[in-house]
Structure 1
């Protein structure tokens, strides 16, 4: 027996028997006028904007090697994951994938925190979520600013009407624990914000001991590790970090789409003690924690999660966990060292002279006075379809930035970058000799 429901969407073309069941096969044949969609001429108005001709041509995306500060290229396994069938964003099969991701992120962050999830958006979304949940108007936040990401955090905090205090270091330098504690004693902040891997300058901020300092003075510690997580050691629980976020498109080598984030119990206590509602519904960590199954209550609809991107992140985390953190950290350090040595052989100087202050994930190279930095980046792209970047924020016009992150962090890629750089510098010498 076949149960048939008549619909007005079209005509049935056949009833096919599959096993003991009869399956109704639907065609898209309609009895209505397809040119007007069933609307009468009196219901339709003249369109001022015609169908765009450009969208009638096939999508054409060139293949490039992305050796800048992000995004990174993704492994085929990650791309294939995105081709899997779509699921509903609250289907049990999908929430199981979300749960898998939480376990992977707990490993990457090295935390047993309950609230580990993702914000749908890039690293900026992680920063915004951190700021808007931890701060109420007039709350004091101390920002350790030594590059553009400290500047962005201060900007966001001001927009949320926080009382922003800043301690500064020159581009490429990092803060000592004593300097941060002095800032805490002076400004008495509720929140301290630092960036582990400052991708605008290539600086690596030491974090060990900072959580203890913050807690001693009644503050919570928030850390941006968008450009560093997976490429350098990070221990959320051991170091007493209260909020940490990263981006999927850096060392994890998934497409840019989500900002993995974790809140400690101390941070969640602060959120729950707020006197005023969190200003952003979309970034409300209590809603996000529920949607990601972190609060022990039934999941409620908050927003439509980026289903295919969640698949991609799950596969990217699987790859990272298969390799293991110790191997990841070692690979990034050895590739960075090979790059440093090769650049020195080419007569180039690194922006950060002290190797202990460099992040291996983003290397900043001083542009020689006789070289046009933009011509060099164009040479990389036009001749080889390889991306390296110029400076950003305080390093703009002064450096090139080479990213060694995740899937792209290989010795072969380092050697390719050095080969192209040698050629590009030779071309610059030829141009200078003609002047």
Structure 2
């Protein structure tokens, strides 16, 4: 009989675009006793979590709650609940996760129309507004922050254009919520999906979502028509039924409403984690948190530049919480990552698609976004590059980062 050792994961400095290090206070919250999902004490925690999520998403929407599952579960829940077969969905693509929105939309039976931008850049909002007016889609699905390219898409005027066209605007803010501003109401976003394992510094396993009355109306209209046709025309109802039971927003909001209609068994410990993670964000203050992410990003950029490395992407649309660095010519990027991990306990990310083998991606997100980690990764990267034969000005990266930190305190 095999005897397995006690679980003892290594301590890492995680500087990827997600997952990131989890705040110890969140880990502590996950150790608390389990409550029944309909225990009044637990349903009070559910209500508090919804209230805190409204502040996080900067919205007055009634519906702010988590989908149980990783970030993709939230994206799928919104799209599968809103898209009816034959709906036209416009997806502007400027990285890997735009393609994901296309794939899920097509699986829902949508007629998908795409706009594509070279990776490393984003769209001028006017380009998307023009496409909305030209295509007259039912839904526009967009990524706010692309971790694949380290780019941040501006939203000026897009929400208003969607309202004019009577289109729903659905936004993947998995990489940005809690790290950069996501102004749901001010930007006229109809549905927004966040993630826990990035700037919120909570383990992967929940996807907070919010949506407004426009989305709810389509969800409920679909449910009402479905009920009316169910016994009369099975073929017609097939196109109206939400294809997923688990990801049906109409059923989920009944579970999160005062009715508490049973839908699934809530992930108790993960809800503790989410509540604590969002509480810590609000305790820090959104503006202070956004400023912290910009401060450590600036120090990281200063160090990388002083090292002589080249950044990837248009600096005018850089995502503050992800920095993409070109791998120097002749360097085995995976060997560098392996040495960082094995010798220094630091994890940075590689890339995929057309950028595979061309860039490293360094995240400065949530609890991982701090001065110790930034200085640690700069010093370690310099040492590893020298070991791989790259001529870098020794010591200058750390000095540049330290100078940046000193300036930020003036």
Rounded Cα–Cα distance in structure 1 between residues aligned with 2:262 and 2:221: 24
Matched residue of 2:389: which SS?
helix
1:339 to 300, 322, 332: 300
Residues 175 and 199 in structure 2, CA contact (< 8 A), matched pair in contact too: yes
Matched residue of 1:194: which SS?
strand
Give the match for residue 280 of structure 1.
244
Give the match for residue 98 of structure 2.
150
1:387 to 347, 351, 355: 347
Rounded Cα–Cα distance in structure 1 between residues aligned with 2:84 and 2:333: 43
Rounded Cα–Cα distance in structure 2 between residues aligned with 1:393 and 1:250: 21
Matched residue of 2:324: which SS?
strand
Rounded Cα–Cα distance in structure 2 between residues aligned with 1:74 and 1:380: 20
Closer, same or farther in 2 for the Cα pair 1:379/1:306, shift >3 Å? same
2:191 to 237, 243, 268: 243
What's the TM-score once normalised by structure 2's chain length? Answer: 0.89
Residues 309 and 325 in structure 2, CA contact (< 8 A), matched pair in contact too: yes
Greater fraction of residues in helix: 2
Give the match for residue 318 of structure 2.
358
Q: 1:325: Cα distance to partner?
A: 0.3
1:165 is aligned to 2:125: no
Rounded Cα–Cα distance in structure 2 between residues aligned with 1:393 and 1:358: 19
Rounded Cα–Cα distance in structure 2 between residues aligned with 1:408 and 1:430: 27
* Unaligned ranges ≥5, structure 2: 226-239, 392-410
Closer, same or farther in 2 for the Cα pair 1:251/1:430, shift >3 Å? closer
Residue deviations 1:352-402, cap 9 Å, x none?
142x30111111111111211101111110001111010133422211011
Residues 139 and 162 in structure 1, CA contact (< 8 A), matched pair in contact too: yes
Give the 4+ runs in structure 1 shifted more than 3 A: none
2:369 to 394, 404, 409: 409
Q: 1:412: Cα distance to partner?
A: 1.8
Give the match for residue 192 of structure 1.
140
1:258 is aligned to 2:206: yes
Rounded Cα–Cα distance in structure 1 between residues aligned with 2:180 and 2:13: 22
Q: 1:208: Cα distance to partner?
A: 2.7
Residues 129 and 157 in structure 2, CA contact (< 8 A), matched pair in contact too: no
Give the match for residue 124 of structure 2.
176
Rounded Cα–Cα distance in structure 2 between residues aligned with 1:421 and 1:256: 27
* Aligned residue-pair number: 375
Residues 142 and 164 in structure 1, CA contact (< 8 A), matched pair in contact too: yes
1:87 is aligned to 2:47: no
Matched residue of 2:67: which SS?
strand
2:290 to 329, 337, 353: 329
1:299 is aligned to 2:263: no
